[in-house]
Each structure stands twice: as structure tokens, then as C-alpha cells.
Amino acid sequence: MLVLGYFYGGYLIDGTTFTKAALSISMNFIQLIEFYICYLWVYPRFLKKNKVPQLIGGILFTIGVFIALRYLIEEVLYLKWLGFHNYNDGTTAWAYISDNIYWSIGFIVTPAAVYGIEQSFKSEQVNRKLKEEVVKAELSFLKSQINPHFLYNTLNYVYSLAIPVSDQLANAVLRLSDLMRYTLNDSPDGKVSLDKEVEYLESYVALFRMRFEPKFYVDFTTEGITNQKIASLILIPFVENAFKHGVVNDESQPVRIKLKVQNKRLSFEVSNKISHAQKDHSSGVGMVNIHRRLDLIYPEKHELLISNNGNTYKSTLILNL
């Protein structure tokens, strides 16, 4: 509206002819179409390092649309409806095309500038949020370092005491100790081998099996695991969610956990029958955190699909490793 106000403000002050006003309206209408093709489609999709050919193609397409629309409106429709057209009858095709390329350039460059400024502001906002998250993470990390090693060593001591009392109790303490030891391990890039992550999931499932057996039905399968790397503890929230909100004692509809890796593409599916018993009202930070971690660690390299038909809840995570 500001641009159009600038264009037509002079007409309101000084006046103009009908022909000049009609040609200005057609030109500005086509320029607006050109602007939004670039702003909404070409630059968001193709203004990236690895899409330069597509970007050039999109710009050429936009220029072609500009030339075609201007010819249709000013040389065909205006002549038919209003009795006049813009260019002289002797204008060659090349002269017409080259002149319109010149007039189209301004509204190729302008949306690029607008889009670039907008993305700069968005990047600044994202960076500010990331800095805030880093501060929160550092505080949380410092708090978490107060007791974990002490608890881990204590669990080992409890395990030694539990051995003569109960094998089941000793195994449960050992499983819990293994889980804690895994969470304390760290790597420079925050990633671990996929088989270690699977061992952690298996220990977690085994610990729950001790708690609910003999009526504990979980089908856990894996395929294609070799030497892949994955972000630590990225899979466990989906299993936790299934055990927390699902039914684990229904033999006809067990909790199904399926992990498959093929051609550097990991697929992790967890499905469970939904429990309609009284819900646990503890804060559900697990899935919130997993969304944040996926966005930070696997930007544009993950897909998370959730389905819920009222009886079965299924989550599918796809990662490009």
C-alpha cells in the first residue's frame, strides 16, 4: 500500500490522462505479481547454496511471466477493450523483450532485499533464543552434576548388598546402574554409536519387565544396525511415553518398538494401546525437549509423524544419519 500510494500520489496532486493511468495500473499490477512470485516462491525455495540453478530458473520464469502478462494486458486486452496499446506497431520482438527485462529487474531485486532483511531478523531472533536456551542448559547441567556420580556409586554398593538377598532385586539395581552410567557418558559431538543407544533401550525395557512381569508385553525389533552414530538419548522419550500413557499388559496389543536403518536413513516406530485409566499429571517435558533437540541437532534432516485414533498411539521418527 505504501508503494502504490507513492506511485499514485502524484496523480492525485497533478492529475493524469486516462491512458497513462491505465498503463500505470497494468504495470503496477504485473509488478506486484512478479514481486510475490519471487517473495513467496522463488527465494524461499531456491535462495540456498546448493540450488543456484533452480534460483536462476525461477528468476527467468518470473521475468517470462512479467513479459507475457504485460503483452496480454497492454497489447491485446487494452487494444480490444479500450482501443489503444502501449508499444508502437513497428516494435520488434527483441526490442519488446529487452525493454521489459529492464522494467522487470526492479521487482526481482526488491523482493530479494525484503526477503533477505526478513530472514536476517528471524536469524537474530533464533540466535537470541538459542543463547537463552544455552544459559538454561548450563544451569540445568550444573544442577545435574551435584549428585549423579554419588548416586551411581551408591547403586553399585546397593547392588553388592542385594546379591545375597534377592537375585531379582540385584538385577534390577544393576539395570538401573547401567542406565545411569549411560546417561553420564559424554562425547565431544553429543553422539554415540547406535548399538549403545539400543542397549540403553533394551535395559530400560528390561527394567520395566521386572516391574510388571509376567504380564508385560513388548515387541522390540531392530534391523540394519552397524556402526552408525546418533544423538545420545534421542530415542528413549518415545519409549517412555509409550510406557507412561500406554497399556503394557495386553497380550493382544503389545507395545511395539521397531528400529530400522537402511541407506543412512533411520526409522524408529513406537506404537501402543492408549490407557484410559487415570493419567499421570507430571509435567510432560520429555516430548517437548525431543522436539527442541531434533530441531537443533537434525535441522531439516528429521521427520516426526504422530498418529492417534483414540485407541492406538503411534510415533514415527525418521532421521537422515
pLDDT for the residue numbered 221: 95
60-84 b/e (C-beta count within 10 Å ≥ 16 → b): eebbeebbebbbebbeeebeeeeee
pLDDT at res. 283:
45
CA 215, chain centre distance (Å): 38
All cell numbers assigned to 216: 508385560
Q: Report the predicted TM-score, pTM, of the whole model to 2 decimal places.
A: 0.54
C-alpha cell at 217: 508385553
pLDDT in tens, 132-184: 877 777 666 655 554 555 566 677 767 777 778 777 777 777 777 777 777 76
Sign of the alpha-carbon dihedral angle for 27, 30, 34, 36 = positive
Minimum mean pLDDT range among 20-34, 165-179, 228-242, 265-279:
165-179
Tens of pLDDT, residue by residue over 188-220, are 667 889 999 999 899 889 888 887 888 889 999
**Domains of the chain in sequence order:** 1-143 (no CATH), 215-320 (3.30.565.10)
Rounded to whole angstroms, the Cα distance separating 216 from 254 reads 8
In whole angstroms, what is the distance from residue 104 CA to residue 63 CA? 6
Q: Which triple of cell numbers denotes residue 307?
A: 498418529
DSSP, collapsed to helix, strand or coil, labels residue 267 as strand
Q: How far apart, in whole angstroms, are the C-alpha atoms of residue 251 and residue 92?
A: 80
Q: Give 38-58 pLDDT, tens digit per residue.
A: 999 999 999 887 889 999 999
Name the helix (H) or strand (E) containing 36.
helix 18-37
- Asked if the bond preceding 237 is cis, omega within 30° of 0, the reply is no
Residue recorded with cell 565431544: 188
CA–CA separation, 269 and 218 (whole Å): 13
Q: Which three cell numbers stand for residue 155?
A: 547403586
- Summarize pLDDT for 64-102 with one digit per residue, the tens: 999 999 999 999 999 999 999 999 988 999 999 999 999
Q: How confident is the model at residue 186 (pLDDT cuts 50, 70, 90)?
A: low
Specify the pLDDT at position 219.
Answer: 94
Name the nearest CA neighbour of 291 among 305, 277, 307, 278. 305
Q: Would you place residue 187 in the very low, low, confident or very high pLDDT band (cuts 50, 70, 90)?
A: low
- The closest of 296, 283, 185 to 233, measured between CA atoms, is 185
Phi, psi (5° rounding) for residue 317? Answer: -110, 130
Q: What tens digit of pLDDT does each residue of 224-233 get?
A: 998 899 988 8
Q: What average pLDDT does the structure give for the chain?
A: 85
Using CA atoms in the order 182, 185, 191, 196, what is the torsion angle rounded to 10 degrees? -30
Of the chain, the percentage scoring pLDDT greater than 90 comes to 48
Q: Distance between CA 285 and CA 240 in Å, rounded?
A: 11
For residue 278, pLDDT beyond 60: no
How large is the average pLDDT for residues 254-271?
A: 94
Radius of gyration over alpha carbons of the chain, in Å? 32
Strand ranges (DSSP E) for 81-204? 191-193
Which DSSP string corresponds to 156-172?
HHHHHHHTTT-HHHHHH
